Amino acid sequence: MLRLSARIAPALRGAGLPFLPVLALTIMVIGMGIMQPRATSYIGLQLILRFVPPMIFAALAQLCVITASDIDFGIGPFISLVNCIAATLLSSHPALCFLLLAAGVAAYGAMGAFIQIRRLPSIVVTLGASFIWLGLALLIMPTPAGSAPDWLVALAHWRAPYLPLPILVGVLAAIFSQWFFRMSSYGVVLRGLGSAPPFLRDAGWSLVVARSALYALAGLFGVISGLMLTALISSGDANVGTPYTLLSVAAVIVGGSSFTGGVISPIGAVVGAFIMLLTGVLLSFTPISSDWQLSVQGLLLLLVLGLRALSRRHA
Amino acid sequence: MKALAARLRERRWVWSFAGALVVWLITVISAGGRGAGATLTAGLGFAAFYVMAGMGQMLVVAAGPGNIDLSIPAVMTLAGYLAIGAMHGDPSMLWLGIVVVLAVGGSVGLINVGLIKIARVPPMVATLSAGFIMQSITIAYSKTTTAKPPGILMQFAVGRTMGIPWIAIVLIVAAAILGLVMSRSVFGRDLLAVGQSERAAYLAGIPTRRITTIVYVASSLLAAVTGLLLAAYSGGAALDMSSDFLLMSIAVVVIGGTSITGGRVSAAGIWGGSLFLYLMSTMLNVLGLGAGVRYGLTGVIIIAVLALSEDHAPI
Amino acid sequence: MSDTPPLVVMSGISKNFGRVRALASVDLAIGAADLVGIVGHNGAGKSSLMAVLRGTVARDEGRFLVDGREVAADYDVRQARAFGIRSVFQELSLCPTLTVAENTRLSHRDLKGWGWRSAARRVIGKALDTIFPNHGILLDAVVEDLSASARQMVEVARAFSILSMPPRLVILDEPTSALDAQAAHQFLNYIVRSRENGISCLLISHRLKEIVDHTDRVIVMRDGRVVDERRASGLSPEQLVEAMGVMAQASETAVAQLRPGGSGRAKPAAQIENAVLAHDARSRGGRIAFTAKAGEIVGLAGLDGHGQKQLLQAIFRSALGPADAGLRVDAEAAYVSGDRRAEGIFPLWSISENLTVSLLKGIARFGLVSARDEEAAAREWRSRLGIKTPDVRSPILSLSGGNQQKVLIARALATDARIILLDDPMRGVDVSSKREMFDHIRHEAADGKCFVLYTTETEELINCDRIYVYYQGEITAEIPRHELSEERVLAASFGRAEEASDAAA
């Protein structure tokens, strides 16, 4: 199996198709089917995977930033902020709500430009920003409250034909992001930013525009993730997004992307989001307490990174 | 005037003390002049804990771009719980508590270094993941213990002389020693050299890997001690006792004038930054503003400090 | 032909980098379908001239016309590309994690919309097929997975690829350095053929035969000037080496001035029995082994990037820990890099802090360094090396490049290290500082230290007792000082060891 993957993986790498993550996901699904046969039915999947869509878009937001060889430490609190805004305003003042969310996307774009122009480490800027997001979320909603409009809730529980909704969302997100980053002509420029910025500038491209575009897109995906989360929990909570910071990094990296070089796999990030969620699900089938969930997910990330470092050393 | 400006640029920590003074004055004035001294001494006591954790963070940040320790809060709670649990309120077991603290801090520091230097995981991801794993261990352990700290430790943690907390006195001395170490010791110079240019430091014969190891271990050790004392101060360990410290440990360092890209530190500034942030939250409480404003303001200040400081990575 | 203006005319172009004059009033005219070779050794000004031409460096003085019209003041890479001026570098400019087709997209802004990828494949594929038939390169392969030769082929083909507008002038800086013999042959034939389509080329190469065989005329540069121009036909590589070395006599006088009255050889190196350094590259096919003894200044010559730096770094690494295979280092080593910004100075620190960073252990008492001891040490070295500053507590960045370099050399000399590795240490250093430093280095060598000097400036080699010339990772000649001549170093730098020894005989 390893020998086969060693031969197939590089061949798929050029196209950004993740072989090992898909294999891992397949094994997990089979494992789940054996442990809980009912979980793999349409209804079972719709229920078990319902928290996958927000995770997918959190992962895609992180993917944008990682494309630029940066890391976004603030995506979790940003999702919380979106959740609080939506839970407060979406029912009563939808226009104002979307205006605020658009301002959030613009703020993300400005953050990218700021990091490029001042050549600052992304970690600290996004960390500083994370406290602004958290602060704003707490201002809007000091304690969990609010609700989601009915149409949003209905959307989140829609029974799609053939495929359970979470899987359908995954497939669509994977197709779009794969197309944008790996196939569109500007996606090449964005990956070039993570690969070799000086060469990109020499070829006449604006690095500020490119980084700013990546961050704005991250903001947009963050907004989508927050809205989906709001639909599922049907309330607002300033701390609900916190775990998404680590989970989004883990999903992207487990999905086969690298921290540097603009080497990314959008499909992998989507697959990674499924893997992260199923890790929690599988854990819940065992006697292990759910307190260990984030810990196991973090360990998985470290394991993948450690193995990757090992294989690089032997290559 | 020009000379004064140059001196201020060199001694950026002055600003943090000036800021602390301003927020203290606002607090005192808006409280109608009551409790001026009490606010200050309480501030010294609380700020001391920020200082202790911040000193470790400063050492890590000094080691250059990308270096950051996000495992500090998790180490604090873990060390607090395990040490208090090991002593079980028995003053004669104090030595065991100290051993546990050193063991937790030392081993987490080494794990962080191993992940960063051997597995080549970015410091942010390595320390964050390690933190989550420790957090789970703490949660699991917390269910088995309700031990109280030994009386002698509690007396030390809350003790005062002429209204000034003992811990504050210890940490004023400690910060002075750290300042001396950074400016005058061989280790301090080596660390600042590594932080400015790891390559130049290597070629100048500095053992760069050893320096990195020392700072991460020192950071974890300081966090562990902070955790123990904080638990003693509040009469027992609590799961949320360190939740503020992820932000605070970084914020006090940045606001105190330490360069986030490494190579320039200010031990005095940690005190300035800690007092400023603590007194700011007091001020906001007096003004009737909640945690949301505090977080938001802190984030804004961090980003403003980054935007205003002149050092950014060389082109 | 006569009434169309030449493609490019440059006249009186000058460029200074700080105090260093990179270009001193250069004239250059390139017509359509013109194949021009440029030769000259390191620092002659070739790269600076090309940088001005392709728009990455702005000229200080002089006129620069394209198609008979003066170029705009904000001339940059994008405008150069709009004129049809493209370039190929020795150091590749491909994004390593993108595919061949994607890299093509980055340099052609018009490749967009649906189907851009197949258009990119077509464009680069066609160029590759035309220049390198049977190249075997997958257009969807990631660049970093390709061999060095294949990457160079892609780089070259990208410069000649045609989307909407064909290239008119392609600047080729060592385009064949990574190509194998067959690919190099294919490529050189291609540029001759492409002249028929009106494409001009500027060819820089250390393989002189390539230049004389494939260009119309050859321009010889030296010290930022064009010193000679010859028709390529009938010219031999030997004649070119001679032309490059025409100025050698002029610098002979400088040799005499620089050499102190015999003091440099006060202690013959041979008196010290054990070699402090020995590097045997013969196992890898090299013919000459490297050794350096206490009391010696050993020079490493040859063109930049032919393995000299790797040797210095291997020596430094081996002095710190386990030795590399084939390398024996018997003493501590200190490293002085000429790349001050990236590998030398600590920019936030004072002169004194920069100077003493490597010797703090020696002057610390109870683990602490007193400011007085530190500044005393710094002041002592300031007077020894003539570092021009009134106050050693001033910031390091307040010094000129030459004085910064003196600080770095003092840093190395102040340690206990007996081997001092000098990695092109005089880059951008003015003549008088350079002389002062070499005087001191010779003095220290006489006291028993061992220096290994890699330099890109041939004149500096006269300070060495022996010189090893590198070519493509191997030593091609070992020249003792009394046999040193510019011609011999040049010939060996271009891989012509045999001719070199013949010339010397």
Position C493 scores a pLDDT of 78
Task: For residues C290-309, give the mean pLDDT.
Answer: 84
Contact criterion met (CB below 8 Å) for C164 and C125: no
**Position C505 pLDDT exceeds 70:** no
Nearest to A259 among B122, B133, B139 (CB): B122
User: For position C357, what pLDDT does the model report?
Assistant: 93
| Number of Cβ atoms within 10 Å of the Cβ of C14 | 16
Sign, CA torsion B113/B117/B118/B124? positive
Contact residues, chain B, for C369 at CB < 8 Å: 184-186, 189
Question: Does A99 or A203 have the greater pLDDT score?
Answer: A99
Please check the confidence at residue C278 and state whether its pLDDT lies above 60.
Answer: no
CA dist., res. C387 & res. A199, Å (int): 38
Interchain CB contact of C110 with A (< 8 Å): no
B47: Cβ contacts below 8 Å, ≥ 6 apart: B168, B271, B274, B275, B277, B278
Is the pLDDT score of C242 beyond 80? no
Counting residues of chain A whose pLDDT is more than 70, the rounded percentage is 94
Q: In what order do the strands lie in the sheet with C169-173?
A: C85-88, C169-173, C200-204, C35-39, C217-222, C225-231
Mutate to test the interface with C, among B9, B11, B186 (most CBs of C within 10 A): B186
Residues of chain B short of pLDDT 50, as ranges, are 312-315
Give the model confidence (pLDDT) of C385-414 as tens digits.
888 888 888 889 888 778 899 999 999 999
Q: What is the pTM of this model?
A: 0.83
| Domain contains A100 | yes
CB contact set of B300 (below 8 Å; sequence gap of 6+): A128, A132
- Distances, alpha carbon B80 to alpha carbons A159, A292, B101, B156, C76, in Å: 49, 19, 8, 15, 61
Give the strands of the sheet with C20-30, arranged side by side: C20-30, C8-17, C61-66, C69-70
pLDDT confidence of residue C274: 35
* Angle, alpha carbons A134-A139-A144 (nearest 5°): 80
Structure tokens at B36: 């001026």
Does residue A283 lie in a domain region?
yes
Chains within contact range of chain A (3+ C-beta pairs < 8 Å): B, C
Query: What does residue B180 show for φ and ψ, rounded to 5 degrees?
Result: -65, -45
Mutate to test the interface with A, among B118, B132, B281 (most CBs of A within 10 A): B132
pLDDT at C445 over 50: yes
A87: Cβ contacts below 8 Å, ≥ 6 apart: A141, A145, A146, A147, A148, A230, A234, A235, A236
Determine which of B259-263, C185-189, C280-284 has the lowest per-residue pLDDT on average: C280-284
Inform me whether the pLDDT recorded for C275 exceeds 80. no
Pairs of CB atoms within 8 A across A/C? 62
Q: What subunits touch chain C, counting only 3 or more CB pairs under 8 A?
A: A, B
Nearest CA in chain B to A301: B129
Q: Which residues contact C366 (CB under 8 A, 6 or more apart)?
A: none
The predicted structure's pLDDT at residue C490? 79
**Mean pLDDT confidence for A122-129:** 89
Residue A171: which of A52, A68, A300, A86 has the closest Cα? A52
Low-confidence winner among A271-280, A296-305, C118-127 (lowest mean pLDDT): A296-305
| Domain annotation covers residue A61 | yes
Contacts of B64 in chain C (CB under 8 A): none
* Residue A1 pLDDT level (bands cut at 50, 70, 90): very low
**Residue B10: its pLDDT value, please?**
67
Cβ C342–B187 below 8 Å, yes or no?
A: no
Rounded CA separation A65/B11 (Å) = 34
Distance, in Å, from the CA atom of A155 to the CA atom of A227, rounded to the nearest integer, reads: 11
What mean pLDDT, rounded, does chain C reach? 81
Paired strand residues for C11: C63
Q: Is B239 on the interface with A (CB under 8 A)?
A: no
**Distance, CA of A288 to CA of C77 (rounded, Å):** 61
Q: How many domains does chain A have?
A: 1
Separation between Cα atoms, residue C114 and residue C192, nearest integer Å: 36
Residue C55 C-alpha, separation from nearest chain B C-alpha, in angstroms: 19
A219 pLDDT tier (thresholds 50, 70, 90): very high
Residue A35 in any domain: the answer is no
Q: Which of B120, B254, B260 is nearest residue A309 as measured by Cβ atoms?
A: B120
3-state SS track over C413-460: HCCCCCEEEEECCCCCCCHHHHHHHHHHHHHHHHCCCEEEEECCCHHH
Predicted local distance difference test score (pLDDT) of residue C20? 67
Residue A27 included in any domain: no
> In this predicted structure, what is the pLDDT of residue C427?
76
Dist CA A58 CA A220 (whole Å): 10
Domain, as residue range, for A187: 51-314
For residues B42 and B174, what is the distance between their CA atoms, to the nearest angstrom? 19
State the chains in contact with B (3 or more Cβ–Cβ pairs under 8 Å): A, C
* Residue C271 or residue B129, greater confidence: B129
Domains of chain B: 12-28+36-307 (1.10.3470)
DSSP state of A261: T
Query: How deeply is A253 buried, as exposed, middle or buried, from its count of CB atoms within 10 A (0-12, 13-18, 19+)?
Result: buried
Of the two residues C314 and A218, the one the predictor is more confident about is A218
Nearest to residue A120, comparing CAs of C158, B141, C267, B65?
B65
Q: Do A259 and B295 touch (CB under 8 A)?
A: no
Q: Is residue A55 part of a domain?
A: yes
pLDDT at A82 over 90: yes
CB–CB contact C415 B192 (8 Å): no
The pLDDT of residue C252 is: 37
pLDDT at C283: 46
Tens digit of each residue's pLDDT (9 = 90 or more) over A244-298: 998 999 999 999 888 888 889 999 999 999 999 999 888 888 888 877 888 888 8
How many CA atoms, within 13 angstroms, populate the side-chain half-sphere of residue A4?
Answer: 4
Q: Would you say A85 and A101 are in contact if contact means Cβ atoms under 8 Å apart?
A: yes
Overall average pLDDT of the C63-70 stretch: 88
DSSP C474: E
Asked if residues C463 and C441 have their Cβ atoms less than 8 Å apart, the reply is: yes
Return the pLDDT at B209. 92
Q: Which of A12, A183, A195, A206 to mutate to test the interface with C (most CBs of C within 10 A)?
A: A195
Answer whether residue A72 is part of any domain: yes
Report the C-alpha gap between C277 and C272 in whole angstroms: 12
Residue A7 has pLDDT above 70, yes or no: no
Number of neighbouring beta carbons within 10 Å of residue A103: 12
Q: Tell how strand B164-165 and strand B160-161 pair up.
A: antiparallel
3-state DSSP call for residue A238?
A: coil
Q: Which pLDDT score is estimated for B176?
A: 95
* Domains of chain C, CATH where assigned: 95-164 (no CATH), 257-332+417-504 (3.40.50.300), 352-416 (no CATH)
User: What confidence tens digit (pLDDT) does each residue in C330-343 have?
Assistant: 888 999 998 888 88
Cα separation, A300 vs B180, whole angstroms:
42
β-strand C297-301 against C327-329: which pairing, if any?
Answer: unpaired
Residues contacting residue C266 through CB under 8 Å, at least 6 positions apart: C446
Distance in Å, alpha carbon of C221 to nearest chain B alpha carbon: 31
In a domain, A5, yes or no: no
* Per-residue pLDDT band at C246 (split at 50, 70, 90): very low
Residues in chain A with CB shorter than 8 Å from the CB of C142 are 13-14
Q: Rounded to the nearest 5 degrees, what angle is found at the Cα of B162, between the Cα atoms of B242 and B41?
A: 40
**Cα atoms in the 13 Å half-sphere on the side-chain side of C344:** 29
Nearest to C337 among B203, B259, B314 (CB): B203
| Whole-angstrom distance, CA of residue B126 vs CA of residue A107 | 28
Interface test with A, best of C83, C93, C102 (most A CBs within 10 A): C102
* β-bridge partners, C65: C9, C70
Alpha carbons B255 and B308: distance in angstroms, whole number: 11
d(CA C134, CA B203) in angstroms, rounded, equals 45
Return the CA Rg of chain C.
Answer: 25
Q: Give C101 to chain B, closest Cα distance, Å.
A: 29
Distance separating alpha carbons of residues A247 and A62, to the nearest angstrom: 10
- CA-based nearest distance C163→chain B, Å: 33
